[in-house]
Chains A and B, each alone.
Chain A
């Protein structure tokens, strides 16, 4: 944190609105309680790690049965997505996320939750204007910019290949 602390009297005496607003924002930052980053990181590590352990267990299981690692990975993804959607549907994923934070957001289960939750919420507005239009309200940006950035990277890769760098 910066050394100079904003006091209420600075804010009230400030006549320039822009500066006053800046000072007020800094003051609010000082007085608003925040989560402990360490605690959040530990919780995310535990929950995220646990989800990954389940994933690894599933991969091992499918690999043993099929002998094909690609196939095992695909089945694992399907199972994790199903699990997340199921937990979202019964209202448990939100509770897990409240504790686990980024640990539930980063794995594919977080992505599945972000698609399932709007589907549950907007079902009442109909199949087309409800679920159809709004199912990707949260995941939409990830999909759009995910595809876009892979296209850009592909283009760079193509150019580098033509030039002979790779």
Chain B
């Protein structure tokens, strides 16, 4: 256990012996044997490659179709590439992975199903819209820490054109995107979570561990505008971050960085204002993957990047690097998701949102 995280742990009775439970507060968990993130991969599209993080990605795929027939197959291919890359980087075979926890934005998770079919790894398909990477890492680390798996892979993907086609308009349709609209990231990111340290790690590099998490609730503040996802998701991020602070009895400065998934420029400000109102100022710690991945000015991405791939490849390529280089020691990683569908949107519903917080540490 992390030294400062004794806070709100509950005592649990297991038969004769009294042991410390891992349940913390209302929605959180603190691991007793924090699982290790031993490898990560990031496959990015052309536009992402031209962005500020371009040099950090493992591979940049110039062809938006990735040599395939359609957008959906292209996204599956990206996911397959990310899975293979992370295995290679970890020096593992697919049979070394006990479970794969993955998801994407396409209906019925077809990017995942087709992408990882050949790997032959037992799989949990998860959907948390753009928060999927957080959800997959939470489930994966829980399986590992609980002793149900030695190594698991958490993986997600998204594709700009596939998402536009499913949620908005055909690509060539002439319309104007509002400033609050985000740009779905084309890319796929994967991490391998293990119960053992990374054997390939360079000397002097810290271990990267998942120390705990806070699972998000569905939060809906009545936003209906699907072109303003940041505003819709900000209350969900607010809710989960606040709960994380309360559950562990910590303040924002416990973390070096508090990193949301894809709130973008509109959502970021709302989140900071909401948290200030309940006594937490995260201005110095906050960062948003959607704002890091693109250059708003030169790349014309309006509110910023979004999609499952946005937080996944930013985490794999940039965040982990900062932790490995000891620039940051503790972070809270909070991918945010808007759980709407085309049907719910057409039927005039509001956008239910979610945010999952993963606590990651370099030690």
Contacts and interface: CB of A to CB of B under 8 A. Distances in A.
Contact of B350 (A21, A96, A120): A21
B173 A31 contact: no
B69 A101 contact: no
Interface in A80-124: 88-89, 91, 93-94, 96-98, 101, 104-105, 110, 113-114, 116-118, 120-122, 124
Given A20-B221, A21-B221, A34-B178, A120 B228 contact: no
Interface residues of B, number: 32
Contact of A104 (B174, B179, B269, B350): B174
Nearest to A10: B277
B343 interface: no
Contacts of A88: 172, 174
Size class of the contact patch on chain A: 35 or more
Contacts of A114: 173-174
B184 to A, nearest CB: 15
Given A8-B277, A21-B221, A121-B165, A32 B174 contact: no
A35 B172 contact: no
A9 interface: yes
A110 B178 contact: no
A45 interface: no
B222 A24 contact: yes
Nearest to A110: B174
Contacts of B174: 88, 93-94, 96-98, 104-105, 110, 113-114, 117
Interface string B50-86: 0000000000000000000111000000000000000
Given A28-B228, A28-B231, A117 B274 contact: no
Interface string A7-44: 01101100000101110110110011111000010000
Interface of B: 69-71, 165, 169-180, 220-223, 228, 231, 235, 266, 269-270, 273-274, 276-278, 350
